[in-house]
Amino acid sequence: MKKYFKISLIVALVLVLSTRCSDDLPIDEDGLLITRRSECYVSSFELLGTDFQTVRTKAAAIDTTAQTINVEVAFGTDLKNLYPQFTLVTDAKLDPKITGKVDFSDLANPKQYTVISGNRKVRKTYTVYITVQP
């Protein structure tokens, strides 16, 4: 009886170990799970200074239809050393990736970021407009 139990346990263990889910899941080039979600938008935006405190004077105005983000920053803000933070819909990702400080000093040429849906089929490019408080 013990022999059959051990054999059954070994067979069950081999079956569990031979079935690997990770190979069946679609993963993108960044190692992120590709899902079925097609939603693609920015839900909130923050802009931090070098001290990692907000430089915004009021909440960012996000227009998901026009795909724009309008942010007013305090007078005297160092626009060459800002840290943008995006909150995206579930499973979406941002391109280009933000890896450090971003230079927003060229106000005539606003920065653009593309939000990519969880299924990686929908892409929406958002333009970030910065204005300096008078």
Beta partners for residue 71, in sequence order: 130
User: What pLDDT does residue 46 have?
Assistant: 98
Q: Which two tokens stand for residue 84?
A: 């943008």
Contact 43, 119 (CB under 8 A): no
Compute the distance between CA of residue 43 and CA of residue 28 in angstroms, rounded to an integer: 23
Structural domains in the chain, CATH included, are 27-132 (2.60.40.2340)
- The yes-or-no verdict on residue 17 having pLDDT over 90 is no
Question: Which has the higher per-residue pLDDT, 25 or 26?
Answer: 26
Q: Which two tokens stand for residue 119?
A: 């299924």
Convert the pLDDT of each residue in 98-131 to its tens digit: 999 999 999 999 999 999 999 999 999 999 999 9
Q: What is the pTM of this model?
A: 0.80
Convert the pLDDT of each residue in 43-53 to its tens digit: 999 999 999 99
